[in-house]
Structures are given as C-alpha cells and as structure tokens.
C-alpha cells in the first residue's frame, strides 16, 4: 500500500484506536484488580482483628494478654509482613506479634470512638508500607475495663505483587486481543472500501467499453457518487455527439460551395482560361484539405473511449460493399477474410473511417486486386488492407503518414487519409503499420485493442 492509500489511513486510525482503547482498558482492569485484592486483604485483616480482640484475657498476674492469637502463622514469623499490636490507652503493657520483633507501630493520632474501625497506611519494619486495620475497643470490666487500640497490618507488597502478577498475565492476552482486533479492523476496512473498488472497476469497464454506465446498485453512501459519474458521462457523450453533428454540418455546408467552385473551374478551363481554373482548383483543394483536417481533428478529439466490444466484420462488409460499387472498384478483384469472432472496442463510425481511408487508398493504387483481412490478436485484432499496386518505398513511408503528405500529385486526393487513420487508431490505443504486401503493393495494418 502507498503512503496516500485510504485503506492504509483507515487501518492506521483503527489500529491507533485499538491501542488506545486496550491501553485504557488494561490500566482500568489493573486498577480494578488491585482494588479487589485490597478489599480481600482488608477483609482478612478485619477477620484477624476480630480474632485478636476476641482472644484477649487477663493473665495470672492480672495483666492483659492475648490468650488466643489469630491463627495466621505469619504473625509468629519475625518480619514476615503480617503484624498485630494492642495499645492500652490508659497505660499498661504494649502487646504485639512476634513478627514485629523489636518494632513498634506508630499509630496516627485518631480520635476513635469505641467500636469504630479505620484503615491506615503505616510504616512498618524496615520502612515498609503497611495496610492496617485499626479498631478502638473499651474492654469489659472482666478484662479491666480499659480502652485499647488494636491494629492488624500487612505489607502492601502483597497487593502490588498480586497486581504485578496479574499484569504479567494480562499483557499477552491484551496483545493477542490487539492482533485479533487489528485483523478485524483490516477486514472491516477492506469490506467497507469494497464499493469504492467496485466503482473503480466499473469505471475501467466503462473506459474499456465493457459497460455503458456505472449503474446504481451500490450502497447508499456510494450511490450518489456513481450517479454523478453517470451524469457526467451522459453530458460528455452528449457534448461529443453535438461536436460530431457540428462537424458533419460543416462538411455538408461546404460541400455544395466546393462543388460549385469545381464546376466553375471546369467551365473556365473549357473556355480556355486554364490559369484561372488552376487557381480556383488550388483554392478549392486547399479548402477541402482544411475541412477534412478539421473533421479529422473533431473525430480524434471526441473519439469515444467507451465503445462497446463488437465484431469488425460488419463494418468491413459495409465499407467493401460501398467501394465495390464504385467505377474503379468494379474493375478490381476483392478478397475479404473477416471471421465473425474477431472483435475490437472501437466505435463503428471511427472503424468505418479508418478502414475506408485505407481501402480507398488501395482502390486508387491497385492494378487488379485488393485484399482485406481481420485476424484476432492476444490483446485485440489486426485489420489489414493489401493491394498489388506499386506500394511505397520504405524511405517514403514517413512522408505518406504525415498530414497532407502526397507522393504522387497526379492522383486525386488530399494526402490526409493515412494521417487521419493514424490519429484515430492512436486515439483508441492502437497503431498503424505500413509495409510491403505479398501482392507486391502496400500492406497497411491497423492494430485495434480489446479495451483501452
């Protein structure tokens, strides 16, 4: 994909959104998990705190002691991370777990009412941060009736370690989910852009002559675009038809004056004014050349690129049929080989003009025979016209192809025929090739494409 690809842009935006969403989701899940672990730890601390307070008793010497300590064995392991401590508020010995060793927990200055419970962050042994659950309790008279502050604490690393382990397990899962979502985003972008790709393919089909218009069987979001393109194609075709009509009107409008000039020149020649007749013929011939040149330009500039693929045999038959009925054509032997399967994406009128120019040239120069053939090629077809006339020398072929180039001024013509054929066939993506015919004369072949 190129840098300016719409598919790449959409996929990049989707991938960035996925990364952002999964990052936020991962952070949120980690925070929720950490809070869940903390709540579970607090619940355990509250259970241990109840067990600690419930296990208080008076010793043989009348001093307060913990007769039934909490069942957690870590309270008996020095610096294990689990601690408890009981502080009498009215004075008396401080009770603490063996795990505290020689450390005393510094409780905050809270004004707790009896029975009230608080959660604290305390500094423990070695400066470790502890999560502590504290309760203020007034003991019954049987236990001396004093008020105590009982606290049970655990190292916060328990929570952070669990959260870190959860994150370690979560990251691969999020990575796999990111890959799945990226693949889904790619599929979504591909499916979403498929209508645009269909527009591109149909535009190519219209340009190559395989479809007349795009049609309207597109999703709602793309249908207006297709309709606008079809409207533009309709307008372009209408403009082309108007241009061709104007060109035809120009040809018909000048045909009569040119005929009158030619007749007048012959009358003058008959009366002995050959010089004036030659001058008028020159002017008329120049006008005819300009008219044919402009008509050719109009045909080339508006040559349709949306011609439908169709057989060339009917056009060949039409052109040859007309030329056979001319006085010169009746004197020649015609051989036509054009299978019905040979086709090209060329407008029939343009095809008739190209073939007509080549065939008229062959009729003009042939001695006894003219051959027209059409054969299929890998990318289209080749239509060739051959004659048994004098042909054209290889060095003179560029002159023959030039607009207005004439090798023999004694024969009638404007010298525009081969140049017009070249312009038309190149407008369709084809080519004109000249060579020596097996009959001895000129071999003129036009290669026409299946599509543009």
What pLDDT, in 10s, does the model give residues 150-165? 999 999 999 999 999 9
In angstroms and rounded to an integer, the radius of gyration of the C-alpha atoms of the chain is 51
Same fold, 209-302 and 307-452: no
Is the full-model pTM beyond 0.75?
Answer: no
- Contact assessment for residue 187 and residue 198, using Cβ atoms and an 8 Å cutoff: no
- Report yes or no: 111 and 138 within 8 Å, Cβ to Cβ: no
Residue 405 has a pLDDT of 44
- What pLDDT shows up at residue 30? 93
pLDDT of residue 282: 75
Q: Which residues of the chain have pLDDT under 50?
A: 305-306, 403-415
- d(C-alpha 334, C-alpha 316), whole Å: 12
Write out the two tokens for 351: 């095809």
Helices (H), 304-396: 313-324, 327-330, 348-365
pLDDT recorded at residue 337: 93
Q: DSSP letters of 335-349?
A: EEE--TT-EES--HH
d(CA 41, CA 53): 18
What are phi and psi for residue 218, nearest 5 degrees? Answer: -130, 165
383 burial via Cβ count (<10 Å: 0-12, 13-18, 19+): buried
Per-residue model confidence as pLDDT tens digits over 215-244:
888 888 888 888 888 888 888 888 877 877
Tokens at residue 359, please?
A: 């065939």
pLDDT for 64 equals 85
3-class DSSP state for residue 134?
strand
Q: Tell me the CATH number of domain 307-452, given options 3.30.565.10, 2.130.10.10, 3.40.50.620, 3.90.1150.10.
A: 3.30.565.10
* DSSP state at residue 74: G
- The β-bridge relationship of strands 147-155 and 129-138 is antiparallel
Residue 408's pLDDT is 45
CA torsion through residues 393, 394, 399, 402, sign: positive
In angstroms, rounded to a whole number, what is the distance separating the alpha carbons of residues 220 and 230?
Answer: 16
> How do the domains of the chain map onto residue ranges?
11-161, 209-302, 307-452
Residues 6+ apart with CB under 8 A from 185: 11, 14, 15, 18
Strand-pair category, 369-377 with 333-337 = parallel
Per-residue model confidence (pLDDT) at position 294: 64
The hierarchical CATH code for the domain 209-302 is 1.10.287
Question: How many residues belong to the chain?
Answer: 452
Mention every residue, 6+ apart, whose C-beta is less than 8 A from residue 86.
52, 56, 64, 66, 94, 95, 96, 148, 149, 150, 151
């Amino acid at each position: 994909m190129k840098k300016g690809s719409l598919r790449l842009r959409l996929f990049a935006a989707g991938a960035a959104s996925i990364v952002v969403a999964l990052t936020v989701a991962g952070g949120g899940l980690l925070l929720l998990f950490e809070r869940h672990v903390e709540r579970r730890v607090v619940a355990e601390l509250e259970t241990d705190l109840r067990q600690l307070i419930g296990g208080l008793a008076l010793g043989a010497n009348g001093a307060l002691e913990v007769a039934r300590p909490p069942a957690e064995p870590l309270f008996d392991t020095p610096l294990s991370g689990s601690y408890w401590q009981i502080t009498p508020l009215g004075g008396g010995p401080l009770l603490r777990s063996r795990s505290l060793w020689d450390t005393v927990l510094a409780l905050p200055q809270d004004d707790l009412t009896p029975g009230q419970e608080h959660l604290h962050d305390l500094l423990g042994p070695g400066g470790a941060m502890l999560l502590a659950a504290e309760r203020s309790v007034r003991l019954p008279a049987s236990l001396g009736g004093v008020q105590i502050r009982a606290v049970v604490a655990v190292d916060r690393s328990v929570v952070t370690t669990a959260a870190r382990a959860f994150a370690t397990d979560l990251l691969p899962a999020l990575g796999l989910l990111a890959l799945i979502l990226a693949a889904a985003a790619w599929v979504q972008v591909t499916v979403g852009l498929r209508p645009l790709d269909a527009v591109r393919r149909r535009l190519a089909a219209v340009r190559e002559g395989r479809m007349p218009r795009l049609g309207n069987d597109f999703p709602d979001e793309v249908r207006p675009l297709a309709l606008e393109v079809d409207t533009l194609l309709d307008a372009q075709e209408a403009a082309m038809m108007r241009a061709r009509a104007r060109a035809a009107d120009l040809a018909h409008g000048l045909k009569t004056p040119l005929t009158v000039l030619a007749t007048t020149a012959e009358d003058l020649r008959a009366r002995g004014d050959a010089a004036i007749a030659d001058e008028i013929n020159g002017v008329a011939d120049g006008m005819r050349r300009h008219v044919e040149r402009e008509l050719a330009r109009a045909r080339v500039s508006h040559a349709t690129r949306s011609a439908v693929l169709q057989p060339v045999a009917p056009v060949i038959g039409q052109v040859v049929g007309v030329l056979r009925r001319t006085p010169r054509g009746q004197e020649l032997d015609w051989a036509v080989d054009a299978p019905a399967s040979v086709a090209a994406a060329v407008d029939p009128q343009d095809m008739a003009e190209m073939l007509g120019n080549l065939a008229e040239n062959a009729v003009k120069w042939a001695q006894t025979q003219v051959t027209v053939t059409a054969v299929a090629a890998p990318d289209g077809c080749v239509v060739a016209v051959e004659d048994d006339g004098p042909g054209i020398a290889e060095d003179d072929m560029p002159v023959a192809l030039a607009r207005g180039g004439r090798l023999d001024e004694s024969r009638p013509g404007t010298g525009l025929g081969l140049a017009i054929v070249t312009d038309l066939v190149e407008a369709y993506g084809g080519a004109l090739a000249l060579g020596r015919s097996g009959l001895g004369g000129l071999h003129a072949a036009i290669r026409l494409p299946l599509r543009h």
